[in-house]
Amino acid sequence: MTVDLLVLGSGIAGLSAAVHAAQAGWSVVVLTKCELASSATQYAQGGVAAASLEAPGDDSPELHFRDTLGAGAGLCDPLAVKVLVTEGPDRVRELIAMGAVFDRTGDGEAAALALTREGGHSVARVVHAGGDATGAEIERALVAAVGATTAAVREGWLALDLLVEQGRAAGTTAISPEGAVQQIHARHTMLATGGAGQCFAVTTNPPVSTGDGIAMALRAGVAVADVEFMQFHPTALHHPAMPRPLLSEALRGEGAVLRDAAGRAFMATEHPLADLAPRDIVARAIARRIDDGPMDHLWLDATAIERFDTRFPTIWRACQAVGLDPRRDWLPVAPAAHYLCGGVCTDLDGATTLPGLWAAGEVANSGVHGANRLASNSLLDGMVFARRAIGAIASGKDAPEPSGVLELVHDSVAPARQPSSALHAGGTTRGDVQDLMTRDAGVLREAVRLERATKELATMDASDPEVHNLVTVGTALVEAATRRTESRGTHTRQDHFAAAPEFLGRFVFGGGPSPVFVPLPDRVASIGGAEHPERGGSSVPTLRAVRR
C-alpha cells in the first residue's frame, strides 16, 4: 500500500500537516517513535509570537519582521520571514478553531488574548496558554484534531532511513514496536522529527530529540545547512533533572533579572535590551561568567513577579519539586541545548532538494531563524510551513523551487541517493556523544576542542539507531563549527570572536562528504513597500509575489 502522505513525527509541524492533509481527503499515516503526544512541542512554555493577532496597537507584522531579522545575525531569509510574520496570525486562529485555549485578560467572549514580551521582541506579542504550558495545550488540541480525522497513527515506530526510488522520496524504512524492519511507501513524505538537543548532556529537549530526520537527510544526500547554530537557552534550571526544567524567557519579560555570583544585575552592560536581549547574547554572557568562576551557575531573580504560582504554574511546580520558592529564592540557572536553528533545507513551501520530501518544524531550515532563533517563533514556524507544504502538494507541486533557503543552495547539492539501512554493531552510548559534544562544542567553542571532537566522533559507532543519528548530526555540527572561523548568532568561537563578512553564508551538506560554503547575496527586505536594508543591495519581491 502507498499512502498519499507519510508524516514522520508528532509535534506541532507533523500534526498540523496531518490534520490539513486528512481534511483534504488524503490517506495519511503519522509515524512516531513514542506516544503521539510525546514530542518537544509539549515542553514549550513561553508561547507563540504573532503580531497584530487581534488589534494592531503598537505592534505589526513589519515590527515582528524586524525583530526576527535582528535576532538572526544576517542569515535569515527575508522572504521566509515575511511568510512567517504575515501568515502566522491565521495559523494561530486555526489552532483556536481546533479547540486550543489561550490565556485571556478577562472573562467572557470579549476578553482579549493575553500577551507577554520575550527576549529580542520590541513589544509584547506572545500568546500563551495555561500561563507557561502553551506547548502542552497546543499538543492536546492537535492530538484531538488528528483523532477526529481518518489519519492512521502508528506509535512506537522508529524511522531508520528514507526510501529513494527513481530520484524521489518514496517513504521510509522503520522498526516496528515488535522490532521488525519494514518499508512504508508514500507519494509524499514529511519530515517533522524535531531537533537534536540530545546531542548534549545538558538540554531542555526530551529523550526523543535525537536528530533523526536530519541524520536521515544527511545519509541520503539531501541538503542540510546551518547545523552549527545550536541555540542554548540561557536560563535552564540548574538541577540534575533531565531534560532540564526550562525557566521561560517570559519570566524576564515580566520583571525577572539575571544576577552574577556576587548578586549584581549584569545584562545592562551586555546589550541595550538588558535582560530581554536575544538568547545568544544572554547565553554567552552567562557562559563567560561561569567559565570565570567561582560557580557553575548564575542566578535568576524572579522575586518581583506577582502571583508567580498562577502566572507560571509549570515553572512553579518545577521549582517546588527541588525545594525552591521563586517568591523569595533566587533560582540557579545555566545554559542548556535548546533549539537547532539549522536543518534540512527547504524552499518557501517546505520542499527539500529531494522531490517528494518535505520538511517543517525544527528539523527544517526554512530560513526564518538564521543564526539565532527569535523567542517563540518556533511553534509558529512549524504551523506556517507545514500548512504551506500541504497547500503546495495539493496544487500539484512535487519538486523544490529556487526560493527561500533553496534560492542559492539547490545548485550546490548532488542528486539524492538511497542510503543503507543496515544496523550498526558499535558500542557507543548516548552518554558518550553527549559528554563529548558538551565538552568540546557547547556555548563557547575553539579550534583545539573542535579538532578533538572531530577525531573522537570519527571513532564512534553505535548499535542503537538513535545514538547513530546523534553521531551523524554531531559530526556535521562540529565540522561546520570548525569551518566557521567567526562568531555569529548562537555560534561563538573564542579564537575568532568577531563576525566576519566573508562568512555571511551557509555551510551546506549534500554535495559530497564535506560541506560547501554558499555565500548569500546582497538584498533589501521589505514588507508592504517599506524597505529595510538586510545585507544591503538590490530589492527582492514583496510578499504578494510569493504567496499563493
Per the DSSP assignment, residues forming a β-bridge with 336 are 233
Query: Helix, strand, coil proportions of the chain in percent (round to 5)?
Result: 35, 20, 45
Cell digits for 185?
A: 511507501
Q: Are 47 and 116 in contact (CB under 8 A)?
A: yes
Q: Are 393 and 188 in contact (CB under 8 A)?
A: yes
d(CA 121, CA 428): 41
Cell digits for 312?
A: 507560571
d(CA 368, CA 409): 15
Which residues lie closer than 8 Å to 25 by C-beta, 6 or more apart? none
Kindly name the residue from 66, 244, 252, 279 that is annotated as catalytic.
279
Q: Are 330 and 249 in contact (CB under 8 A)?
A: no
Angle between helices 78-98 and 134-147 (to 10 degrees): 70
Q: Are 546 and 82 in contact (CB under 8 A)?
A: yes
Among 376, 361, 346, smallest CA distance to 79 is for 346
d(CA 116, CA 104): 11
Cell digits for 263?
A: 548578586
d(CA 470, CA 216): 11
| Longest CA span, the chain | 65
Q: Measured in whole angstroms, how far is the alpha carbon of residue 106 from the centre of its chain? A: 32
Cell digits for 223?
A: 541538503
Q: What's the number of CA atoms in the CB half-sphere (13 Å) around residue 453? A: 30
- At 31, is the secondary structure helix, strand, or coil? strand
Cell digits for 468?
A: 547513530
d(CA 118, CA 286): 18
Residue 423 CA: distances (Å) to CA of 82, 87, 172, 266, 428: 42, 42, 15, 50, 13
- 279: annotated active-site residue: yes
d(CA 319, CA 136): 19
- At 524, is the secondary structure helix, strand, or coil? strand
d(CA 66, CA 33): 38
Q: Are 360 and 382 in contact (CB under 8 A)?
A: yes
Among 495, 196, 471, smallest CA distance to 344 is for 196
Q: Which residues are catalytic?
A: 279
